[in-house]
Amino acid sequence: MTAPGPLPTTQAEQAPVLERHGHLPAVPPRRLQPQALRETFARWRGAGAPGSAAAWLPEHAGDLAAHERRAARQASVLVPLVLREQGPQLLLTRRDARLSVHAGQISFPGGGRDPGDRDAVHTALREAEEEIGLDPALAETLGCMPLYTTVTGFAVTPVVALVDARARWRLQQSEVAEVFEVPLEFLMDPRHHELRGWDSPEAAAAVPGAGPGRRVFFAMPWQDAHSGRSYFIWGATAAMIRNLYRLLIA
């Protein structure tokens, strides 16, 4: 089955909630501290060693069928955890509304791999510097999560990094309309995770078991208490956040 085209955010926000996951445990706050995050990623990097107990698989690998993933373009995103006094904050961007693909959606900084990039980490840091002005010297890379293939044909490597609170943002106006931060503790609590469904004759299941004609995706709506602004985090971005939850709770 051919994968569906991108779902507009306006339709995604109107999609009904199929499940809420308050029955799942939240990641304990102690596991979200910088040193605990370093140790978790170190254990996972060694999961392939004989006798390791740290083996872990992502909950969702993406929106494309296995045969389509082989033709996907390589890309990376940075998953930046900004080290604030009140606890790590996940930095996200809102894409410019004039873009031809994923216009206005919430995303991580990132993009396609260039021929001169050394690896997935290089791609993520280069793109983050271009899009939001992040100085690579202020980012401590923890590790890479498994590939996530998007409906638009990208095989994305999420690169998780701790970001110094001294970092300052300089937005690439042609791509990024806004940056904002969400408490990592909020996103690592499944009470705030929704599974939504959108029915269409052309839709393909984005989550196994959804059935024909239904697009199913994660959403994590969030409202900034200080500004009062609401943000609808969904799709590939929400799925990668869900995978991070599964890694940290494992």
Q: Print pLDDT tens along the chain (250 aa).
A: 334 456 677 788 989 999 999 999 999 999 999 999 999 999 987 655 444 445 577 888 887 655 455 678 999 999 999 999 999 999 999 987 565 555 568 999 999 999 999 999 999 999 999 999 999 999 999 999 999 998 888 999 999 999 999 999 999 988 899 999 999 999 999 999 999 998 765 544 444 444 555 778 999 999 998 889 999 999 999 999 999 999 999 8
Number of domains in the chain: 1
**Is residue 50 in a domain?**
no
DSSP 147: P
Is residue 37 included in any domain, yes or no?
A: yes
Single-letter code of the amino acid located at 65: A
Asked if 14 contacts 238 with a C-beta cutoff of 8 angstroms, the reply is no
Is 48 contained in some domain? no
Please report, for the domain that includes residue 180, its CATH number: 3.90.79.10
Asked whether residue 49 is assigned to any structural domain, the reply reads no
Per-residue pLDDT, 187: 98
> Is 2 within the bounds of a domain?
no
What is the DSSP annotation of 61-100?
A: -BSS-HHHHTTPEEEEEEEEEEEETTEEEEEEEEE-TT-S
Contact call for residues 99 and 175 (beta carbons, < 8 A): yes
- Per-residue model confidence (pLDDT) at position 3: 43
Structural domain containing residue 185: 9-42+59-249
- The pLDDT value given to residue 212: 52
